[in-house]
A and B are shown apart, each in its own frame.
Chain A
Amino acid sequence: MGHTTARTTSEARAPRRWALAALVLLAAGLLAACGGREAATGAGGSAAEAEGAVASQLVSAPAQPADHTDHADHSDHADHAGRSDHADHGAHAHHPEPLAAAPLPGTSIYHLATPFTDHRGAPLALDALRGQPAVFVMFYGDCTTACPLLVRAAEEIEAALPADLAATTRFVMVSFDTERDTPERLGAYAQEKGLDRANWHWLVGSPLQTRQLATLLGVQYRDAGNGMFAHSNVVTVLDADGVPSARLEGLGVKLEPAIEAVRTAAKATR
C-alpha cells in the first residue's frame, strides 16, 4: 500500500491540500478495511470524507430501521387506527384494514410504488403485502449455486414457524434477471421447487425497479455476462409495514434471527 501511495503522489508532482487530505483519509480507511469486511464499507466512505462529506451520513443509511422513528410511526398508526375504529366500526378494532390505510413509515421499503409482475403474470405492488411480515430474497433462475440455498433458507424459515403464521407470512423472491426470468419461467421455477403457493410471490420488474429494491435491501449485484449475475446473498425480514427488521447476509448463516423477527412482526400486528 505504501509503495503505491508514494508513487502516485510523486506522479502528481504538486501534491495539493485536497490530494493530501484524500490520501491521508484513504490510507486511514485502508488500514481499517484490511481488518475485515465490515470495516471495508467505511474505507469507501473515507473517499467521501475526502470531499467534505459527513461520515455519519454514510453510517445512518436510511435503509437501516431507525428505532425511534419506527416507534413514532407505529404509535401514529395506532392512534389513527384507533380513532377511525371508534368513529366508524368499533367492532373491527383488530382488523388490519385501518392499519393499511395509515401512511407508511419513512423507513418502509413499500414506498417503492411501481408494481412488479408475479409468476402468475399479475401486477403486484409491494404495499399490497402490508399487514403481515414478509421475507424477501433476491435471486435469479439460472443461478445454480447460491440462489437455491437462499430459496431453501426462506423455506426453512417458513418451516420453523407455527402453521398459522407460516401461512400468512409472505415469501417474496425477486429476480435480478429482468430479461430471462419472465413470469412464465418464474412460475415453472416455483412449481419445480414445489413453492407455487398462495403466500409465495416470485417477482420480476424493470431494471430500475430491480436496482431500486436491491439498493433498499442492501443487495449488491452485477450482470457478469453469459447470463450470470454476481450478487450478495441476503435474506431480509420486513415487518407488517415493510420496514426491515432482520437481515441475514451470507450463505449457511443461522436463521434464528429471521425466524424471531417474523414472530415479533406478527405479534405487533395483533
Chain B
Amino acid sequence: MTHVLRFLIGLTLGLAATQLAAARAQGAQPAAPGPAMVEIPGGPVELLFPVEGEEPVEVAPFRIDVLPVTNAEFLAFVEAHPEWARSAVPQVFAGPGYLAGWAGDLDLGALDPAAPATQVSWFAAAAYCEARGARLPTEAEWELVASAGLEGPRGVDEPGYRERVLTLTTNRAPVPGPVGQGEPNHYGVHDLHGLVWEWVFDVGSSMATGDSRSEGDRRLQLVCGGGSAGAVDKSDYAAFLRYAFRSGLEGGYSSGGLGFRCAG
C-alpha cells in the first residue's frame, strides 16, 4: 500500500517537474532562487463591477508564479519560519482551519507534497510571499492573468473560453491534485481555474466604494441579481463566482479549496 502511494507521489512529482520544465522552455524566466515566474505586461483591467466615475484599473508590468505554491514549498517555509507552525501562529492570523489537514506542525501527513498549499490564511500566504521577496498578486493583476486564453491575452476572443473556464471552475476535485497538470495559458501560467481559489493581496477591497455614503452598495450590486445589470460582462459566470467568493473572505479564514501564488 505504502509502496503504491510512494509510487504515485513520485509519479505526480515527476509530472509536476516535467510541466515546470516545459513552462521554462516556453520562455518563462525562472526567478532565482524562487520558483518560476513569468513577466506579465501591464494594461488596463476592467473589474467585473466597475465603480461609476472611476477609471479602469491600470496595472503596471509585474511577474507572477507559473504555478500555485505547493504543500512541499509551504512546509519548507514553516520549517524556516516556525512562528507560522500550526501550534504557534496567533489566532488573529489564522483561524482553527489553518493547516488542519497536516499531521503535525512539520508533517504534511497524507497530503500530496506537489498539490497546492491550502488551508492557509491570507496572513500566512502574504508572509510566505514576503519571505520570498515577493507579494501576493493584487486582484486586478490576478484577473488580468486569468483573463488570458490559450492563444492570446484576451480569452473572450477565443471560442469556448467561457465554457472552458466555467467547467474548470466548477469541476474541481474536492482534494486538489498536483500543480502544473492543467494547460498553461497564453502567459505560460497554470492552474488559475481548475485547482483551487486563490488569495489576492487586496482581500475584500473589491467591495469598497468611492462614495462613503453608498458604502456597501457595490457588494449588494455583486450579490443581488437585480444589481448585476451593472456588471461589465453578464455572461462571465465563472467571474461572478470568483468575485462572490473573494468578497466573503476574511484574513484568518482558510479552507481546503483555497490556495495562493506569489507575484513581484
The residues of A with any CB-CB pair to B shorter than 8 Å are: 1-5, 7-8, 11-14, 16, 18-19, 22, 26, 29-30, 33-34, 37, 40-48, 50-54, 57-58, 60-63, 66, 69, 104, 106-109, 111, 145-146, 207-208, 211-212, 215-216, 218, 220-222, 224-226, 228-233, 250-251
Assess the A61–B174 pair: CB atoms within 8 A: no
Q: Pick the 3 closest A-B CB pairs, nearest first.
A: A1-B225, A44-B248, A106-B91
B130 in complex: contacting residue of A208, A233, A251, CB < 8 Å: A208
For the complex, give the distance between the alpha carbons of A220 and B126 in Å.
17
> With A18-B172, A29-B223 known to touch, is A53 a contact of B235 (CB < 8 Å)?
no
Assess the B122–A233 pair: CB atoms within 8 A: no
Assess the A61–B90 pair: CB atoms within 8 A: no
> With A19-B166, A232-B208 known to touch, is A108 a contact of B92 (CB < 8 Å)?
yes
Which one, B4-12, B60-68, B198-206, is touching chain A?
A: B198-206
> With A230-B210, A233-B212 known to touch, is A62 a contact of B219 (CB < 8 Å)?
no
**Closest-CB distance, B246 to chain A (whole angstroms):** 7
Q: Which of B85-99 contact A (CB under 8 A)?
A: 90-97
Assess the A212–B126 pair: CB atoms within 8 A: yes
- Whether B29 is near chain A, meaning CB under 8 Å from some CB there, is no
Number of residue pairs A-B, CB distance < 8 angstroms: 209
A53 in complex: contacting residue of B92, B93, B257, CB < 8 Å: B257
For the complex, give the distance between the alpha carbons of A42 and B97 in Å.
18
- Whether B171 is near chain A, meaning CB under 8 Å from some CB there, is yes
Q: Which of B209-249 contact A (CB under 8 A)?
A: 209-210, 212-213, 215-216, 219-220, 223-226, 228, 234-235, 237, 240-241, 244-249
B51 in complex: contacting residue of A2, A45, A63, A224, CB < 8 Å: A224
Number of B residues, CB within 8 Å of A:
68
A residues less than 8 Å from B261 (CB atoms): none
Assess the B92–A109 pair: CB atoms within 8 A: yes
The residues of B with any CB-CB pair to A shorter than 8 Å are: 51, 54-55, 57-58, 90-97, 122-123, 126, 130, 135, 162-163, 166-167, 170-172, 174, 197, 201-210, 212-213, 215-216, 219-220, 223-226, 228, 234-235, 237, 240-241, 244-258
Assess the A62–B163 pair: CB atoms within 8 A: no
For the complex, give the distance between the alpha carbons of A77 and B28 in Å.
53
**Closest-CB distance, B259 to chain A (whole angstroms):** 11
For the complex, give the distance between the alpha carbons of A216 and B185 in Å.
35
Assess the A45–B248 pair: CB atoms within 8 A: yes
A residues less than 8 Å from B204 (CB atoms): 215, 220
Assess the A37–B237 pair: CB atoms within 8 A: no
For the complex, give the distance between the alpha carbons of A207 and B138 in Å.
11
Assess the A12–B170 pair: CB atoms within 8 A: yes
For the complex, give the distance between the alpha carbons of A26 and B96 in Å.
24
For the complex, give the distance between the alpha carbons of A44 and B244 in Å.
5
B residues less than 8 Å from A47 (CB atoms): 241, 244-245, 248
A residues less than 8 Å from B126 (CB atoms): 208, 211-212
A221 in complex: contacting residue of B90, B167, B201, B205, CB < 8 Å: B205
B residues less than 8 Å from A18 (CB atoms): 170-172
B residues less than 8 Å from A225 (CB atoms): 54-55, 57-58
List 20 contacting pairs A-B, 8 Å CB cutoff, sorted by A. Answer: A4-B234, A16-B171, A34-B224, A41-B248, A43-B223, A51-B197, A53-B258, A58-B250, A61-B95, A63-B92, A63-B250, A66-B91, A106-B91, A146-B212, A215-B250, A215-B251, A222-B202, A224-B51, A230-B208, A233-B215
B residues less than 8 Å from A251 (CB atoms): 212-213
Assess the A58–B235 pair: CB atoms within 8 A: no
Assess the A58–B201 pair: CB atoms within 8 A: no
> With A16-B170, A22-B241, A146-B212 known to touch, is A62 a contact of B91 (CB < 8 Å)?
yes
Assess the B223–A30 pair: CB atoms within 8 A: yes
B174 in complex: contacting residue of A7, A52, A107, CB < 8 Å: A52
**Closest-CB distance, A159 to chain B (whole angstroms):** 23
Q: Which residue of A lies closest to B55 (CB)?
A: A225
Q: Which residue of A lies closest to B224 (CB)?
A: A34
For the complex, give the distance between the alpha carbons of A222 and B219 in Å.
14
A residues less than 8 Å from B253 (CB atoms): 48, 57-58, 61
Assess the B225–A48 pair: CB atoms within 8 A: no
Assess the B172–A51 pair: CB atoms within 8 A: yes
Q: Which residue of B lies closest to A1 (CB)?
A: B225
A residues less than 8 Å from B258 (CB atoms): 48, 51, 53
**Closest-CB distance, A166 to chain B (whole angstroms):** 27
Assess the A208–B244 pair: CB atoms within 8 A: no
For the complex, give the distance between the alpha carbons of A235 and B76 in Å.
39
Assess the A44–B96 pair: CB atoms within 8 A: no
Assess the B97–A57 pair: CB atoms within 8 A: yes
A residues less than 8 Å from B57 (CB atoms): 225
